[in-house]
Structure 1
């Protein structure tokens, strides 16, 4: 066979093979079908975690999508197959989530999604406000109050209707949480505990000396924080913090709205005793297989 004919045949066959491969690959189509069996290592960086009150399932929002966890198979289901970098993830009710972030590149959407809401457990998302205007890296709710940190403007903002926003303060924020009484707790740029006073982020006098990375507030008002190294601390009624437990390092997301959940670099962990002990719901393949 001559080189010319080989080149011509390859030029025809390779595009055809490429088209067939694309047609058989779920990610080549627009989002729509759930993708089963995704391992923890393929989630990408995790931005949020929470429990769906509709069925008790744990959901993780990550760089490569929103996942419903299946601890029995040590995998997650990517909702609607959407590779959406979902940030500011918050569960607000049965099958109802809030989020922000950046779109699946197969969808014709602006690079910054503003405030999104899903009412079908993350399969579809509707824009509520700030489309193309805000990148909400951290978000929490208490009743109708939504508080979020916009990484584009460097502002902490609030809304009660999802459309009209007010600026609470300006400054760099790692994480934030809203207490039942409406107090906004913040982990600032250097990992210190802070609140907002007169539209200013102010470090508290009674915060832990350790560098903090994550914060959430339990329904009873207990403030819970985590260090990047995995130490879990809770705030007592007198304002002091004590260590209640620990998880592996590389903490990425924390939720104590229902059962306590935290995501480390190697697993999704659950506690049913207010952080004293933790069990693994989903682990990386490295942890599952061992050394």
Structure 2
């Protein structure tokens, strides 16, 4: 299946056309440069080293500065697609080089061990664009949008191919790494064999999913309605609505702490989606 096929699916953000993309002050200042405008977000996460928010975007990685303005981390202006905080100061990502940067069109899997300041290539450069990445119990799970398949790796270098399916996002049960959820145009699909096979999608139709705790899988639909499942994705209950329009990214940090990127900012809930606080401003252009 072609890259274009799955890029169309991602850019539509599952609009039913999926047929084919605060912490310690001194260290924060050292990591960031001048503020910039952010147009579109692909991933959000919290670094456990200092509890700082990091935001992967179409124009680089950012963190909130004064008055919630986005502050660039490092010098890169690359397009970061799949993004996850693996552990303290260690991030994994994928995407594409900035228009004026050298390198292959797909970055494969890249890694930062200095909280996003610099990045090195781990594998699959030129071949794969991961639109979703998860790191659980020492294992990396990625949704390869170039080929429309789930891939799994222990070291980020050697990969196992798992199921092929048209999806936008995946999530892994932190207590059972054989159990995955994937968002499809028909609803949430589930795997109980490490992503080798998935059930047919079942409602609700969600854009993004994230597993914050064994009994706290979160999903968000196109209107920003946040849903929670306490039974591994079998049933879902609406628990709140994120402000700011159509969602662009979702990360459940734990059972109650949830990050949502929407068209006008990054929002955080510390009570399971009942209320949200804006953490970073965004000037969105839409698209994925």
Once the 2 structures are TM-superposed, how far is the Cα of residue 208 of structure 1 from its aligned partner? Answer: 3.5
Q: CA RMSD in A?
A: 2.1
Q: CA distance change for structure 1 residues 73 and 152 in 2, over 3 Å: closer, same or farther?
A: same
Once the 2 structures are TM-superposed, how far is the Cα of residue 269 of structure 1 from its aligned partner? Answer: 0.6
Which residue is equivalent to 1:227? 221
- The correspondence for 2:198, drawn from 190, 196, 201, is 201
Which residue is equivalent to 1:47? 42
The structure showing larger relative contact order (alpha-carbon pairs under 8 Å, at least 6 residues apart) is 2
- Check if 1:86 corresponds to 2:80: yes
Distance 1:103 1:161 in 2: 23
Which residue is equivalent to 2:33? 35
Q: Partner of 2:169: helix, strand, or coil?
A: strand
Name whichever structure is richer in helix by fraction.
Answer: 1
C-alpha contact 1:50 1:90 (8 A) present in aligned 2: yes
Number of aligned residues: 247
Which moves more between the two structures, 221-230 or 237-246? Answer: 237-246
Q: CA distance change for structure 1 residues 223 and 100 in 2, over 3 Å: closer, same or farther?
A: same
Q: Deviations over 1:64-101 (max 9, x none)?
A: 1100112x422111112311100110001111100000
Once the 2 structures are TM-superposed, how far is the Cα of residue 284 of structure 1 from its aligned partner? Answer: 4.2
**Pairing 1:46-195 to 2, within 5 Å after superposition:** 46-70=41-65, 72-180=66-174, 181-182=176-177, 183-188=179-184, 190=185, 192-195=187-190
For normalisation by structure 2, the TM-score amounts to 0.80
Distance 1:56 1:139 in 2: 20
Distance 1:35 1:84 in 2: 15
Once the 2 structures are TM-superposed, how far is the Cα of residue 246 of structure 1 from its aligned partner? Answer: 0.5
Q: CA distance change for structure 1 residues 74 and 285 in 2, over 3 Å: closer, same or farther?
A: farther
Unaligned runs of 5+ in 2: 1-29
C-alpha contact 1:174 1:191 (8 A) present in aligned 2: no
Question: Bigger radius of gyration, 1 or 2?
Answer: 1
Distance 1:233 1:111 in 2: 35
- Check if 1:215 corresponds to 2:209: yes
Distance 1:36 1:50 in 2: 21
Q: Partner of 2:70: helix, strand, or coil?
A: strand
C-alpha contact 1:48 1:87 (8 A) present in aligned 2: yes
Q: Partner of 1:43: helix, strand, or coil?
A: coil
Q: Partner of 1:73: helix, strand, or coil?
A: helix
Q: Partner of 2:74: helix, strand, or coil?
A: helix
Which residue is equivalent to 1:24? none
